[in-house]
Amino acid sequence: MDKRVLIIGVGLIGGSIALAIKKEHPGVYITGYDLNEQNCRLAEKMNIIDECLPSFEKEAAASDLIILACPVEEVEQKICQLAELPLKPEAIITDVGSTKVKIMEKSAVLREKGAVFIGGHPMAGSHKSGAGSARRHLFENAFYILTPAGNTTEEKVCELKSWLKGTGANFVVMEPEEHDMVTGVVSHLPHLIATSIVRQVKKHAGVNERVRWLAAGGFRDITRIASSSPAMWRDVVKHNQSSLLSLIDEWIDEMEYVKDLVQSGDQDDIYSYFADAKKFRDALPVRARGAIDAFYDLYVDVLDKPGVISHVTAVLAEKRISLTNIRIIEAREDVFGVLRLSFQTEEDREKAQECLIKNDYETYLNM
């Protein structure tokens, strides 16, 4: 009998996992359920899933793998609902939430009934959403964190890795507490800081309009992550409250140190502060994918003339290279303008640079 996979939440992440499973396990029958039925129907039409379901309860009882690819608050609700169903004893349930402690605590209701729940967090995403943006290679070379419960056998962990092999991700097993602290340090706190900086600039922009003008360039780049989903980050903060409170205290201490540094005006100490951060930052892996998705930007000099932007995009479309964003950095009459092209992967950027150079465009990676 064919294996069956149920994906609850057929958006970008759920849809991309479905495509990865189809690649590695072509005989598997994949069903999907989503609160947004239109989104689920689109996934079915695009052959991301084999069948869109009006409800998930009956299918859950017949599934060998159940993936909760929905927001963390909804994951908790679905865990409770699944605990009331006659699930297959050998079935595996997993999620994709970016916090793990509370979800693993909630999953105890499943484990009490003999079900196997293994927490999961694929650390990759996109500024896009919905099934229409799903891509099989979304997780390639990204970290995929697994947080099995203490009584979960190694055999079951390996089985889940086998199910997800098509993602091309790097699997890392962690304790839930370690996961939430690590992601808090390198993802959750930076999102809070970026948002707070944007709010500070907003206050000043209300007094001086020139602040808004000047914030249109590099400031937008260093605060990109502040444009993430407010609903998602509301839930993340709620679920990772303990780790974040500790990290915020550390950040306040750091800012007090910076305040003292600025107040002292000691040139050597100020220089050392920046130099130490630069040294550590420059030593971070360049090509590895971390907790916050990297932005792969390519800058292109273009003449200020009609049709030039459409020509650039046509050149890329001909080679089937997908853009995630395009922005005009500078364009003045009779001089070169600069386009910033953003790509999802390093490979896409390299292909784009190669074909644009062949079309006589001057490109560079940094401005």
Residue 159's CATH number: 3.40.50.720
What's the mean pLDDT in 44-66? Answer: 94
More confident residue, 326 or 126: 326
Q: How buried is 366 (Cβ within 10 angstroms: 0-12 exposed, 13-18 middle, 19+ buried)?
A: exposed
* Domain-terminating residue out of 254, 282, 310: 282
Return the percentage of the chain with pLDDT > 70, whole number.
Answer: 92
Q: What is d(CA 337, CA 11) in angstroms, rounded to the nearest whole number?
A: 37
3 pLDDT tier (thresholds 50, 70, 90):
very high
Residue 316 has pLDDT above 80, yes or no: yes
Q: Is 135 helix (H, G, I), strand (E, B) or coil?
A: coil
CATH number at residue 312: 3.30.2130.10
Query: 160 and 240 share a domain?
Result: no
Query: 246 and 317 share a domain?
Result: no
Query: 167 and 300 share a domain?
Result: no
Task: Report the pLDDT value the prediction gives residue 287, as an integer from 0 to 100.
Answer: 57
Distance of CA 170 to the CA centre of its chain: 15
Return the percentage of the chain with pLDDT > 90, whole number.
Answer: 59
Task: Report the pLDDT value the prediction gives residue 128, as an integer from 0 to 100.
Answer: 60
What's the mean pLDDT in 269-290? Answer: 84
290 in a structural domain:
no
123 pLDDT tier (thresholds 50, 70, 90):
confident
Mean pLDDT of the chain: 88
* Domain-terminating residue out of 174, 202, 219: 174
What's the mean pLDDT in 131-156? Answer: 88
**In angstroms, what CA-CA distances link 199 with 145, 226, 287?**
32, 10, 31
Q: What is d(CA 180, CA 39) in angstroms, rounded to the nearest whole number?
A: 30
- Residues of the domain holding 256: 179-282
Amino acid at 208: N
288 in a structural domain:
no
Q: What is d(CA 196, CA 48) in angstroms, rounded to the nearest whole number?
A: 38
What's the mean pLDDT in 7-25? Answer: 93
Residue 91 has pLDDT above 80, yes or no: yes
What's the mean pLDDT in 23-51? Answer: 93
Task: Report the pLDDT value the prediction gives residue 366, as an integer from 0 to 100.
Answer: 63
Q: Which residues pair with 328 in a beta bridge?
A: 339
Query: 161 and 32 share a domain?
Result: yes
* Domain-terminating residue out of 140, 174, 208: 174
β-strand pairing of 143-148 with 116-122: antiparallel
Q: How many domains does the chain have?
A: 3
Query: 38 and 147 share a domain?
Result: yes
Query: 109 and 183 share a domain?
Result: no
Task: Provide the CB-side half-sphere exposure for 310 (13 A, CA).
Answer: 3
Query: 82 and 29 share a domain?
Result: yes
**In angstroms, what CA-CA distances link 273 with 259, 262, 279, 282, 359?**
12, 11, 10, 14, 44
Q: Which residues pair with 173 in a beta bridge?
A: 146
287 in a structural domain:
no
Q: Which residues pair with 144 in a beta bridge?
A: 122, 171
Q: What is d(CA 364, CA 343) in angstroms, rounded to the nearest whole number?
A: 14
Query: 243 and 344 share a domain?
Result: no
Query: 193 and 164 share a domain?
Result: no
291 in a structural domain:
no
Residue 331 has pLDDT above 50, yes or no: no
326 pLDDT tier (thresholds 50, 70, 90):
confident
Query: 10 and 136 share a domain?
Result: yes
Query: 17 and 148 share a domain?
Result: yes
Residue 333 has pLDDT above 50, yes or no: no
Task: Report the pLDDT value the prediction gives residue 335, as an integer from 0 to 100.
Answer: 47
- Encoding tokens for residue 17? 């996992």
**In angstroms, what CA-CA distances link 262 with 138, 194, 255, 268, 272?**
43, 21, 10, 12, 13
Query: 233 and 351 share a domain?
Result: no
CATH number at residue 272: 1.10.3660.10
Task: Report the pLDDT value the prediction gives residue 339, as an integer from 0 to 100.
Answer: 82
316 in a structural domain:
yes
Could you report the per-residue pLDDT of 97-112, keeping only the tens digit for each? 999 999 999 999 999 8
177 pLDDT tier (thresholds 50, 70, 90):
very high
Helices (H), 164-290: 176-183, 189-205, 209-214, 218-222, 230-239, 241-264, 267-282
30 in a structural domain:
yes
What's the mean pLDDT in 139-156? Answer: 92
More confident residue, 5 or 328: 5
